[in-house]
Amino acid sequence: MKLFRQDIYLKVTHIELNMVMVDTLNGKNSPLVSRTFSCLFIAALFLASPSTAWSETAPKKFSLTHCIEIALSNSTSARKAENALKLQGADVLRNYGRFLPRLSSSASYSPYTLSRTYAPDISGEITNVKTSNKSVNLTVTTSLNLFNGFNDYASLQAALKKEDAAQYSLSRALQAIAFDVTQAYYQILLNQELLAIARENLLLAQNQMTLTDRQFQIGLKSMIDRNQQQADAAESGLSVIKAETRMQKSMLELVRRLQIDPLTTFSLEPLDGLNSPLPLKLDPDTLVKLAYQQRSDLKGKELEVSASKWGITQARAAYYPRLDVTFNVSSGGIEYLHPSIGYTYPPLSDQLAKTIGYSVALNLSWTIFDGFQTRYNVEAAKINQINQQYDYEDLKNNILIDLHEAAGEYRSALMQIETAKISLKAAQSAFDGIKRKSELGAVSFIELSMARATLFTARSNLSQATYNLALQKSILDFSTGSIAIPSQPESGIPVK
């Protein structure tokens, strides 16, 4: 914002200096004019001096590549895509784990147990017997699934496909961020040029206003011409205000995409080679083939279709029996605290070491009827696979249409630049001629105003055509999936 104000101050100083120079050319160089000229000249030097406070708050200089790197680092959509990829990687590991045996263990220790019961004594009489003990039990169980209708295998294959699809989704998300930032960057540069053109047009209008006022004073111009020139200068000033508003808005839009502090002051580096043609051939069929090979979102969608096919196999697994093998190891011991029986137990350590038991079991289970739940799951998986295929075909059709449209827009942008150059050259020549006649009073205000408006429009059209061509290049890169993405070492995630 401070740079905008400084630029306005310099422009205003430039306007005042031109007004003084007009006075001097008209023979009205008074002492007051001389002092005014000196003061304005010193003020201009002060504002332009690099040793003033402006240099202390010099804005940061951002290039397009730097802006893209900042956006990729700060964007929440990129972080969400990275998190989705990490979660899918964890799901792959979980599905690998289904092929490994499951291992569980349990241990229990009871420090005191009291029980009362009736038992015959030595004489044969039934007496009440009270016993107290402590006990330890240890168990280790492992089980391995031998067959479950290929459920685990289908689930693993689906998870692998989804992981690759998530990686391609991350790549496309990064490309979308880069494309979005590029659009905003181009818009700022375009608005900067349009603002400079609007300010120059205002300067011309104000200079012409000064000249018209002097001509009115000596009788060469009428009051109507003077009023019309004032209205024209005011309209040019309004155009500058609108251009400044658009400029500030576009800067804020870039800040929104970079997700940085809105109060950050920065400027953008200009771009070279905006009018250079594309190295690739603008044949729509060639572009479509290139997009089918490079578009990461298309590859990801194809993998999702493949994953959905494995989902059908996974749903059908419930029709088959399930076979598991289980191996169990256990040991335990009891130590009576106040034995009331005629014999004693060994110590707990001996019992645990010498009472180890093993067991192996095969478990077969088969669901005969589950209320058509499996049938519903299979049908749902089939419908999901069909819908995924529809999305894949729609994406291919949209890519084809987008590339045909983008190729036509690029060819149109090339022709617009050539036409805009011719128009600007003719408008500049016409304005120069009419301006010389106007200074001699040979043409009317309307002719001069129309010539300047035509020149202003021609310059604006050339700037818009130039950045439109650059934008069409970016659209073609994005549509074919060949847009460049700066490397991001901090993420540590490879991008396909």
Task: Determine the pLDDT at residue 6.
Answer: 40
The CATH superfamily holding the domain 59-100+150-320+371-496 is: Outer membrane efflux proteins (OEP) (1.20.1600.10)
Point out the least confidently predicted range of 158-162, 265-269, 353-357, 492-496: 492-496
Task: Determine the pLDDT at residue 163.
Answer: 96
The residues spanned by each domain of the chain are 1-58, 59-100+150-320+371-496, 105-147+322-365
Which among 457, 402, 401, 449 is positioned nearest to 427, based on CA atoms? 457
pLDDT digits (tens, 9 = 90+) for 214-231: 878 887 777 887 888 788
Band the pLDDT of 280: cuts 50, 70, 90: low
Buried/exposed code over 174-205 (b: 16+ C-beta within 10 A; e: otherwise): bbbbbbbbbbbbbbbbbbbbbbbbbbbbbbbb
Task: Determine the pLDDT at residue 27.
Answer: 42
In the chain, the N- to C-terminal Cα span, in Å, equals 40
pLDDT digits (tens, 9 = 90+) for 363-408: 999 999 999 999 999 999 999 999 999 999 999 999 999 999 999 9
pLDDT above 50 (res 63): yes
Q: What percent of the chain has pLDDT over 90?
A: 51
Average pLDDT over residues 251-258: 94
pLDDT above 50 (res 495): no
pLDDT above 80 (res 120): no
Task: Determine the pLDDT at residue 5.
Answer: 40
- The whole-angstrom separation of Cα 9 and Cα 14 is 9
Q: Report pTM.
A: 0.77
Strands 60-62 and 266-268, by their bridges, are parallel
Q: Which residue has the higher pLDDT, 255 or 346?
A: 255
Q: Which residue has the higher pLDDT, 445 or 493?
A: 445
Point out the least confidently predicted range of 28-32, 247-251, 261-265: 28-32
pLDDT digits (tens, 9 = 90+) for 76-119: 999 999 999 999 999 999 999 999 999 999 999 998 888 888 87
pLDDT digits (tens, 9 = 90+) for 415-432: 898 899 999 999 999 888
Which among 11, 36, 41 is positioned nearest to 24, based on CA atoms? 36
pLDDT above 80 (res 349): yes
pLDDT digits (tens, 9 = 90+) for 150-184: 999 999 999 999 999 999 999 999 999 999 999 99
Alpha-carbon radius of gyration of the chain: 42
Task: Determine the pLDDT at residue 372.
Answer: 95
Q: What is the DSSP string of 239-292?
A: HHHHHHHHHHHHHHHHHHHHT--TT--EEE---S-TTPPPSS---HHHHHHHHH
Average pLDDT over residues 279-286: 74
Task: Determine the pLDDT at residue 29.
Answer: 42
DSSP class of residue 483 equals -
Average pLDDT over residues 48-68: 63
Q: What percent of the chain has pLDDT over 70?
A: 82
**What mean pLDDT, rounded, does the chain reach?**
82
pLDDT above 50 (res 449): yes
- The whole-angstrom separation of Cα 275 and Cα 457 is 20
